[in-house]
């Protein structure tokens, strides 16, 4: 069960759910905060969090929830060459310190990559993840697609499944149904320019301060991520450790929190594509466009298009590589 599978070993319906449940602690939250410096207010301000959520325990940053959940899904992707994308993620229940998360992972599709000269055979595995808390309530439901090498470099598996099961869009009513019954009026800042009603649509916002990628293996270990390419350079097709994709996403989310101070939490992801690899010491910059606004009581849901770029050549600050293309929905007061 725990042997690292090759692409030929997968079948649709395979279940990889025998993983340790994880209780989210203040230690997890502190390490995650030290790595990313996220400025989402509710996980940082316990007094405000209690007033807004009505819960005495501290709220867990949604990026930490995702990273813990993804780490629990990596038994089938220990040999991953790279995780290509995520689809249809919805935060159906908020997570608070002390909650215990259990993740089930199922194979729902297989597609072998087209052969290329001098490139060993590989394929894409569509995985469906279902995360529950200690009460059996669904916290997250989402899909991701790792690329896995074949045992036989010349393998021809014939797998060519449709990946339509992984949704590109999440209905607005689903997102509204996932919004907690929180007191958003209490959350609003005194700066009206940052409130939901005044947010500018179709305007590109750029986070000027970049961040250098550090502590990548530490995040992988903390979240029980078993993908070998993130901790062992000899297992990477790039000849050096590949930074775990959730690290890039979490850094992008942290950068967003600097320029969008009235972002209460992230509600869902439509699509999230890793369009190029990220390595330690890359310097990341994020920009965002607000595409749509949908009002709810004392706030609203905003659709964001987030793009992150990596700088590696310090002699040419304009030589950036796009590494992340992410469309998501966030709750604003």
Q: What is the pLDDT of residues 305-332, one digit of tens each?
A: 999 999 998 889 889 999 999 999 999 9
**Residue 244 to residue 78: CA distance in whole angstroms:** 12
pLDDT of residue 138: 98
DSSP character for 306?
Answer: E
How much of the chain exceeds pLDDT 70, in percent? Answer: 99
147-176 as b/e: b if 16+ CB within 10 A: bbbbeeeebeeebebeeeebbeebeeebbe
Residue with the two structure tokens 């995985």: 127
pLDDT in tens, 247-282: 999 999 999 999 999 999 999 999 999 999 999 999
Strand, helix or coil for residue 10: coil
Contact 252, 326 (CB under 8 A): yes
What gap in Å lies between CA 95 and CA 159, rounded to an integer?
Answer: 37
Distance separating alpha carbons of residues 195 and 189, to the nearest angstrom:
7
Report the alpha-carbon distance of residue 227 to residue 84 in Å, rounded: 14
* pTM attached to this predicted model: 0.96
Distance, CA of 84 to CA of 123 (rounded, Å): 11
Domain locations in the chain? 7-155+166-332
Cβ–Cβ under 8 Å, residues 126 and 143: yes
Which residue in 160, 166, 180 sits closest to 62, CA to CA?
A: 180
Which pLDDT score, from 0 to 100, does residue 170 have?
Answer: 96
**pLDDT at position 2:** 58
* Fold exhibited by the domain 7-155+166-332: Thiol Ester Dehydrase; Chain A (3.10.129)
Residues lower than pLDDT 50 in the chain: 1
Q: For position 190, what pLDDT does the model report?
A: 65
């Amino acid at each position: 069960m725990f042997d690292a599978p090759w692409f030929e070993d997968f079948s649709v319906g395979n279940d990889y759910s025998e993983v340790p449940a994880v209780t989210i602690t203040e230690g997890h939250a502190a390490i995650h905060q030290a790595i990313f410096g996220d400025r989402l207010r509710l996980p940082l301000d316990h007094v405000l969090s209690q007033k807004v959520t009505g819960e005495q325990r501290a709220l867990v940053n949604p990026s930490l929830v995702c990273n813990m959940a993804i780490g629990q899904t990596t038994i089938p992707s220990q040999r991953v060459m790279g995780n290509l994308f995520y689809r249809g993620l919805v935060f159906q229940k908020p997570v608070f310190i002390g909650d215990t998360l259990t993740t089930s992972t199922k194979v729902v599709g297989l597609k072998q990559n087209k052969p290329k000269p001098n490139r060993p055979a590989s394929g894409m595995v569509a995985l469906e993840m279902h995360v529950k808390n200690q009460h059996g309530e669904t916290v997250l439901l989402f899909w991701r697609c790792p690329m896995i090498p074949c045992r036989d470099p010349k393998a021809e598996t014939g797998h060519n499944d449709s990946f339509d099961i992984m949704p590109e869009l999440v209905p607005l009513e689903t997102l509204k149904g996932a919004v907690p019954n929180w007191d958003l009026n209490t959350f609003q800042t005194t700066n009206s320019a940052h409130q939901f009603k005044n947010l500018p649509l179709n305007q590109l916002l750029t986070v000027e301060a970049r961040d250098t990628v550090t502590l990548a293996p530490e995040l992988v270990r903390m979240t029980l991520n078993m993908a070998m390419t993130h901790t062992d350079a000899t297992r990477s097709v790039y000849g050096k450790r590949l930074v775990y994709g959730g690290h890039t996403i979490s850094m992008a989310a942290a950068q967003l929190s600097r320029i969008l101070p009235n972002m209460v939490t992230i509600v869902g992801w439509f699509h999230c594509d890793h369009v190029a690899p990220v390595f330690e010491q890359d310097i990341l910059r994020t920009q965002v466009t607000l595409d749509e606004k949908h009002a709810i009581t004392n706030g609203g849901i905003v659709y964001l298009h987030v793009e992150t770029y990596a700088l590696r050549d310090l002699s040419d600050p304009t030589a950036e590589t796009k590494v992340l293309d992410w469309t998501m929905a966030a709750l604003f007061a």
